[in-house]
Structure 1
Amino acid sequence: MSDQEKTQGTAPPEPEEERHEPSEDDDGSRMPFLSHLEELRSCLVRSAIAVGVCFLGTYIFKEELYQGLAQPLKAAMPAGAKLIYTAPAEAFFTYLKIALLAAIVVACPVIFHQFWRFIAPGLYDHERKAVWPFVLVSSVLFIVGAVFCYTMVFPYAFQFFMSFATDDIVPMLSLKSYLSFSATLLFAFGVIFEMPLVLVFLGRIGVVSSKGLKKNRKYAILIMFVAGALFTPPDVVTQVMMAVPLIILYEISIWMVVATEKKKAERRAAEEEEFTDSDPKE
């Protein structure tokens, strides 16, 4: 907005935003850098304690967690085939990793809360109000992505891989390799399901537009296949099974960005109309 517009009153006044300032010391100065580091350390310690407490509970159910994680593979394996471990401590550490991953998932609300406590003092009021919905939606999308991978991708992928077994070629999968494979896929699908939320956020702040997303669709599809190669084990099947949902999510994201742009345009038009109605006649 130009100074002339502000002087003549031809443009709507810019809303004032109050920043929630960081806490101050007795001398009136802002929280020093070391205090920020101390607050960060406290948040990390609380998060670690929450994960540790949850780990004590999840380790009790380590066998049930393992059976649930391995079920899609067991259903696809030939009769009599079993998972093995090839090192003395491999089974023990596999159970530890499964329990730890489950503990992190259970402790996510506490981790998010600590993250919020650390960043909240430096946010504007409207940004602080938007954080909790963002955290909630992102958590739901991550879980949906992981569930989609477990229920839709795992069965078909393992059926395909096990179809190469013959009388002479017998699958002998280790606990360590399966945990690494499954955890990588679950995490990767959880992350890629965040795409609509990320693109909508970028659209709201003006970094991307629906027109630009449509124009660069072919490049985006290429990037998705590259991402499928980077974030999944090195085989074509899982790469394609990741790239296809990415393409679908990209199209959904375009539609959501279009809806966001329409809302922004309507809100801007309403603000201009309100300013015009409230502007005194000369």
Structure 2
Amino acid sequence: MTMAEQTKLEAPKTAETEDELAGSEAPLLDHLIELRKRLIRSLLVILGLLIVCFFFAGPIFDVLVQPYRNAIYPQPVELIYTAPQEFFFTQLSLALFGAVFIGFPYLATEVYGFVAPGLYKKERRAFIPYLIATPIFFILGACMVYFAVLPLAMHFFHAMETPEIKLLAKVSEYLGLAMTLIIAFGICFQLPVILTLLAQIDLVSSASLKKGRKYAIVGILIFAAFITPPDPISQIGLSLPMYLLYELSIWSVTLIERRRAKTLAAEGTSDDGTAAS
């Protein structure tokens, strides 16, 4: 075979390969464009909420300080700042926290809108309950911090005072602690949602979750020690709910497996009946 004939035979293959590559790159480019649009919209929403929340930084501050007041009542809360610009940047942090907290349902909706086109109609309907459960579990985690963990932690810290040594907390450090715990607990409370979703696509099972329980306990303790302040109240306050949520996830995954088994059994019975008739 001459070089010219070999070139003629290889030319159509090269053209077909280029067409396939172009066809595979086009959907990827469309997904990237869609992702960029959703990211821009999300950033604009957060930016708009940040501007609005900046004017309500005072009420947000009062809300976040209330657990501190409840912890040391009837003593007054005394917070200080040691740099001229510190309180201004603290207000910006409060505004950003308020924007993320209020905008969290919208962010979850944008994530769903990006994922939904790749799902079947039945899968979209199955995804909606998780979309609803996500902000609910986030708020439950925030309430856990607000009404239990943060008051107990501040009471613990104030109990260490002596007549000569008093606690005068910096406003930025207290609010940073409060906001970090609220966001951390809100995210950690998504554990049942994430594990149940993974079970829906057969990436985890109740048997594997039960077998990995001891590793999960160690992982939860390490994660709690890393993300919370170095005090036992905060660490136990995060570790215990996370372990309970892990057990809740096992129960939820078990229900999904039972429902799936019933559906398969019903389909099998239907097929047998059709075949018999």
Flag the 1:150–1:44 CA change in 2: closer, same or farther, 3 A: same
Task: Count residues in correspondence.
Answer: 255
The one of 150, 156, 163 equivalent to 2:146 is 150
Higher helix share goes to which structure? 2
Q: Which residue of 1 aligns with 2:62?
A: 67
Per-residue deviation at 1:34?
4.2
Q: Which residue of 1 aligns with 2:236?
A: 240
Per-residue deviation at 1:80?
4.6
The answer to whether the Cα contact below 8 Å between 2:152 and 2:233 also exists between their aligned partners in 1 is no
The answer to whether the Cα contact below 8 Å between 1:58 and 1:102 also exists between their aligned partners in 2 is yes
- Superposition TM-score, scaled by structure 2 size: 0.83
Cα separation, 2, equivalents of 1:117 and 1:201: 16
Flag the 1:30–1:108 CA change in 2: closer, same or farther, 3 A: same
Partner amino acid, structure 2, of 1:106: I
The answer to whether the Cα contact below 8 Å between 2:142 and 2:182 also exists between their aligned partners in 1 is yes
**203-212 or 244-253, larger mean C-alpha shift:** 203-212
Partner amino acid, structure 1, of 2:71: A
The one of 90, 113, 119 equivalent to 1:123 is 119
CA deviation string 1:177-205 (max 9, x = no partner): 11221111111111221112222222233
* 1:170 maps to 2:166: yes
Q: Which 5+ residue runs of structure 1 have no aligned equivalent? A: 1-26
Per-residue deviation at 1:228?
0.7
Per-residue deviation at 1:32?
5.3
Flag the 1:262–1:123 CA change in 2: closer, same or farther, 3 A: closer
Cα separation, 2, equivalents of 1:119 and 1:202: 15
Per-residue deviation at 1:88?
0.8
Percentage identity across paired residues of the two chains: 38
Partner amino acid, structure 2, of 1:92: F
The answer to whether the Cα contact below 8 Å between 2:228 and 2:234 also exists between their aligned partners in 1 is yes
Flag the 1:46–1:85 CA change in 2: closer, same or farther, 3 A: same
Flag the 1:118–1:155 CA change in 2: closer, same or farther, 3 A: same
Per-residue deviation at 1:248?
1.4
Cα separation, 2, equivalents of 1:115 and 1:204: 18
The answer to whether the Cα contact below 8 Å between 1:85 and 1:176 also exists between their aligned partners in 2 is yes
Per-residue deviation at 1:220?
1.6
Flag the 1:239–1:120 CA change in 2: closer, same or farther, 3 A: same
- Superposition TM-score, scaled by structure 1 size: 0.82
Q: Which residue of 2 aligns with 1:11?
A: none
* 1:95 maps to 2:115: no
Across the aligned residues of Structure 1 and Structure 2, the Cα RMSD in angstroms comes to 2.3
The answer to whether the Cα contact below 8 Å between 2:137 and 2:190 also exists between their aligned partners in 1 is yes
